[in-house]
């Protein structure tokens, strides 16, 4: 009975964690490596969800929805980088915050104008609208697919950063952009590609989350805060750190929401326990971040550039 209760919640925490990683990976590339504070990253996640919903409405193809979300966000990220972000690299972080916060407001209004205030819903693809048997326990196939996609992206990110020439240039450009420029590398194009890659990962997170969440204006802000917690815990600039920290945060948050109310019912009324449990579970993540900052300010996983 205990296994039937705990194991599905562990899988839910893993699924939530890999979704956080998809968002945090792009954010840590831009924030940790390019030293650009991008509050609009959550808006790119939201735009990916809306691109996917629109593509699915036109084609009824979930595959095309993924292509539209990722491709649309890559293109949008490239345009944003060229028109606005590239002008802010040399500015103070406060200017980054103010400019990207303005982008958040802009995108929230754009989706209200184009798609309206009503929420959208993206159905689970038919070939994943079932369950899989894991050690005798049935688990939704789509949620398991999210886990698989997240793990594949994690492996792909590692190979990109550590086994390819592009990854080498990205790491070198983050450490000494002037030297890279002197060697004939187009550092402006490199930054644009990196920002676009982060935007594409945000779009992928948006489309993968759409069948389990409602698509609506402002959906990117809450998850952006959690993604920031993830990269602080894992280590700013460390993609592998973002992966492990996302799993820690996802599992801690899920298990806390599932079991804290049950534990609190032993000492207080059911109504109070049901109200206090999820709130305390949400606080656990920030308490964990505070502990990590106090003990190891650089994060649990030292970034490669250190």
pLDDT for residue 2 is more than 70: no
pLDDT for residue 303 is more than 60: no
284: left (phi over 0), alpha (psi -120 to 50) or beta: alpha
Are the CB atoms for 48 and 42 separated by under 8 Å?
no
- Verdict on whether the full-model pTM lies above 0.85: yes
Mean local confidence (pLDDT), 279-287: 82
**pLDDT, tens digit (0-9, with 9 covering 90-100), for 44-65:** 999 999 999 999 999 989 999 9
Residue where the block lists tokens 């989350």: 209
CATH code: domain 2-122+138-295 is: 1.10.3470
Q: What are φ and ψ of residue 131, in 5° steps? A: -125, 160
Helix, strand, coil in percent for the chain, rounding step 5? 75, 5, 20
Q: Which helix (H) or strand (E) holds 203?
A: helix 187-209
Q: Token pair of 249, please? A: 């945060």
What integer pLDDT is reported at residue 177 of this predicted model? 67
Domain boundaries, the chain: 2-122+138-295
What integer pLDDT is reported at residue 306 of this predicted model? 39
Q: Which helix (H) or strand (E) holds 131?
A: strand 131-134
What secondary structure letter does DSSP report for 134? E
Q: What angle do CA 156, 49, 54 make, to 5 degrees?
A: 120
What integer pLDDT is reported at residue 173 of this predicted model? 67
pLDDT for residue 299 is more than 50: yes
Q: Token pair of 15, please? A: 């699924």
> What are the beta bridge partners of residue 138?
133
What is the spatial distance between Cα 207 and Cα 213, in angstroms, rounded to a whole number? 10
* Long-range pairs of 254-263 with CB within 8 A, sequence gap ≥ 24: 254/9, 254/10, 254/12, 254/13, 254/16, 255/9, 255/10, 255/13, 256/280, 256/281, 256/282, 256/284, 257/281, 257/282, 258/9, 258/12, 259/9
Confidence of residue 126 (pLDDT cuts 50, 70, 90): confident
pLDDT for residue 87 is more than 60: yes
């Amino acid at each position: 009975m205990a296994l039937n209760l705990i194991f599905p919640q562990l899988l839910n925490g893993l699924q939530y964690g890999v979704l956080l990683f998809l968002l945090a990976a792009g954010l840590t590339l831009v924030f940790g490596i390019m030293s650009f504070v991008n509050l609009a990253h959550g808006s790119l996640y939201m735009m990916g969800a809306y691109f996917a919903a629109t593509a699915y409405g036109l084609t009824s193809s979930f595959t095309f929805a993924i292509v539209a979300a990722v491709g649309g966000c890559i293109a949008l990220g490239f345009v944003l980088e060229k028109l606005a972000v590239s002008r802010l690299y040399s500015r103070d972080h406060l200017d980054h915050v103010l400019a990207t916060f303005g982008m958040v407001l802009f995108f929230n209004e754009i989706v209200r104008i184009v798609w309206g205030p009503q929420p959208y819903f993206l159905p689970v693809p038919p070939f994943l609208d079932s369950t899989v048997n894991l050690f005798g326990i049935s688990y939704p196939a789509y949620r398991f697919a999210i886990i698989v996609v997240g793990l594949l992206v994690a492996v792909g990110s590692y190979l990109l950063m550590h086994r390819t020439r592009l990854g080498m240039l990205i790491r070198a450009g983050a450490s000494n952009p002037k030297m890279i420029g002197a060697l004939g590398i187009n550092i402006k194009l490199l930054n644009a590609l990196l920002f676009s890659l982060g935007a594409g990962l945000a779009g992928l997170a948006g489309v993968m989350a759409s069948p389990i969440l409602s698509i609506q204006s402002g959906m990117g802000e809450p998850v952006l805060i959690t993604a920031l917690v993830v990269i602080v815990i894992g280590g700013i600039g460390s993609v592998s750190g973002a992966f492990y920290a996302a799993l820690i945060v996802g599992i801690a948050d899920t298990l806390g929401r599932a079991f804290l109310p049950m534990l609190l019912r032993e000492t207080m009324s059911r109504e109070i326990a049901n109200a206090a449990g999820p709130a305390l579970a949400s606080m656990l993540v920030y308490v964990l971040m505070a502990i990590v900052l106090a003990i190891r300010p650089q994060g649990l996983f030292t970034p490669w550039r250190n």
